[in-house]
Structures are given as structure tokens and as C-alpha cells.
Amino acid sequence: MRKERITLEANNIRPFINQRHIDLVMPEVIDADRKIKKGTGEGASFLGWCHLGSQTSKKVVSGINDVAAEIRQRADVLLCIGIGGSYLGARAGIEFLSPIFPQEHRADEPSVYFCGNNLSADYLHDLLGSIDNGKEIYVNVISKSGTTIEPALSFRVIYDFMKKRYSGKELAKRIICTTDKKKGALKSMASKKDFRTFIIPDNVGGRFSVLAPVGLLPMASAGVDIKELLRGAAAIEADVFKGKAEKNDAYRYAVIRNLLYRSGKHIEILSGFHPSSHYLLEWWKQLFAESEGKNNKGIFPATADFTGDLHSIGQLIQDGRRNIFETFLMIGKSLNKVKIPQLKENMDGLNYLAGKDMDYVDKKAYQGTAKAHAAGGVPNMTIHIPQRSAYYLGQVYYFFEIAVALSGYLLGINPFDQPGVQAYKNNMYRLLKKKG
């Protein structure tokens, strides 16, 4: 039986974009779709993510699950060291699927802490202070090269910390490297120190690696069903590779955002109405910014957590400059119910909501926001996720990855490189007096 898919609703773009506009760019879409499927576009050597959902082997999945089970059994804390795509996807998945206050509900699983994504001394000091109390620790360091300065420096400090706690085979057992198959500083260190390794495929770039061991091991360690995650991704993959380009919701999303960009809407805000989606929004932001922002082109990706942000940037969205469009990320079915009570005094005047579920009010807030923003000149669309589950999360990952690939080709750029990232590094290394 065919399970539901995440879907795109685009009624609130009609005053700005209509079907005729979409039909006019369809030849561009079909050409971009061909480039993805046949691997003939720029950056095609990094299209390996396209089939991770369907082609990740049972052996790889089993190996990840075995190590994750060991971590859950033996560790109080898993430290994940990585930056950008080496940590955002995993963090997004764990926080999307976990209870909001996980340690109050899931004490049988390790706390997953992320580091190596900044250069803050205070962050690293406080992190080590929080675990230097007899907690059992495993480390997963994630880097293709092993020389990116943020995770590399964090790993130096944490490795020194681990050597004071563990030694010999026990130390080696507790450090797991997700890295290149053959080369790089981290691969060399793993081989020399006998650390276990998982492979980042050569044809998968960092921001597209969430469905590779980069994302799968941390998520599995936190109790995520990675088989279901991959199955969800494979469902959207099949829709893309077996279906027609004009019928695909991920492509429709990419087309609409590009048409809005061409009409002068240069900023996209991805807005969620659930606290668990915060890092999913952050993952999206990195994926789209690094994929599209080059050659003086690109839609600026911003995020908002509603309803809270309706009381801050909501004002700007409603009444500010009209260079914005918006995409809402909505979760259909809440996992829990909280009934609003009847109060005899009714001093807040809210008894008219008594008996309703909090999620019902949240959905009405979304509907009211979408309508108000559209009326205020902000075109918007909505991606509907049936519920918070690993299966639908896999769909979300693949939906956005395939959408940004198509969107990049529509923009006329290579969506798979990131030449601008090196600029700050060059200046920083110069200031640090790095030789060469």
C-alpha cells in the first residue's frame, strides 16, 4: 500500500504566479531534470546523494545500526564533531523526531551533543565541563579531509580529553571517524590509531550527506529508525526518477521560487510552526545558501519559528519591503493532545477555546498567517508533512535536496560546489600565520 507523500500547496502564489508562467519555464525544467537524471550538468560528479535512499546497502545500514546499538548501550553522551552538512542534518533529524525535552522521556538513550561547528572557547569549555563527571562518552568525528579548522581543533581538544579518561583498545573503540575512504588527515589518523570508520562517498558533497553515514550514525545512536528514513527518501526518489517533471511537487517548489526570484522576490523565509522543526529549518538554510549563492545570484534563505517570530520579524514580513516570499513547513498530525481547560472566572476571555486542542489553535494561527501575509503582498506556499516520523523526515530531506539541485540549474549555476567558502579561510589562515 502506497503511503502518503509530503505535498506542496501553492494557492497563495496565484496573484503573483499563475500556471501560464509555470508552463513557459517547463522547457527549462525538463532540461534541468535531464541533467540530473543523466548526470550531464555542472557538478554531476557529486550526484551520488540521488540514490542513497534506494541504494544504500543492507550491509552499510546493518553496520551503522550495530555501532549505534553499542553506543546506546555503553554511552551516556555521544559527541558529534562536524560543521555545516557534517552536523546540521543529523541534528535536524534528532530534534525533529525526539520529544522536546528528550532527557525527561528517553533516559535509556545517550545525550547527543554537537561541537566543531564554531571556534568558541566558552562553548568547548562548558561542553567538556558538562561531561567531566564520570559520564561514559563516545565520539563521532565527521570530516572528509580532517583539516577543516573548526572540527579539527575541537577534535584535538576532545581527543586529549578522551586520552585522560580511556586508553588502549578502549580509547580506540570509543572514537568513530566518518571520513574519506582512502585519503585525508582524518583517514590517516584513523588507520594509525585503529579507530573505526564509516565512509563518506566520493560523489556526495557535505550538505547532501545527511542520508549517508554522516547523518545516519548520529541519528541511529539517538534511536532514529534509519531504515524508515531511507525508505521515505526512496519514495520521493522513485517519484522523481520514474515520474514526469511537471508532476513533481519538489520540482514545482523549485520552479515557483525561481519565478518569484525573477519577479524581484529575492528573499525566501522558511517558516515552521513546531519547535521541533528549528534545526530542520537551519539545515535547509545551509543547503540552499551554499548551493545557490554564487555568481552574484541566489535567493537569500532565512528562517522563522512561528508563532514566536510573528511577534518579531512577523511585523517586517507583513508590512516591510515587498522583496520577500515565504514557504511554510507544516506538520499535519500532532503526536500528543493538550486540551484547553474551561476556567470559571474566564479572566483571559479564552473560554471560547475550552475543549479545543492546542494543535487546533496552532493550525488556525498558520492559516491566519498565510492569509494575512498573502494579502499583504507576500506570496507563500506550504509544504505539508503528514506527521513527525522517520519515514516522512526521509521524504523531507530528499524533497529539498532534489529541489535545490533543479533550482540551481534553473539559476544557471553549479549547485554542488561552494567556492566562496574558501575566502574567509584564506584570510584567517593568513592572520594565523599559517605557512604556505
Give the active site residues: 290, 311, 425
In the block, which residue shows the cell 521515505? 232
Cell numbers given for 72: 546506546
The strand pairing partners of 271, in sequence order, are 304, 328
Q: What are phi and psi of 347, to 5 degrees?
A: -70, -25
Beta pairing, strands 137-142 & 175-179: parallel
Q: What are 188's three cell numbers?
A: 590517516
Element (H, E) at 121: helix 121-131
Asked whether the beta carbons of 292 and 404 are under 8 A apart, the reply is yes
- Which residue from 415, 418, 419, 420 is spatially nearest to 44, judged by alpha carbons? 415
10 Å CB burial of residue 14 (0-12, 13-18, 19+) is: exposed
Name beta bridge partners: 268: 301, 325
What SS3 class is residue 196? strand
What is the rounded radius of gyration, in angstroms, for the C-alpha atoms of the chain? 23
Strands annotated E in 136-276: 137-142, 175-179, 196-199, 267-272
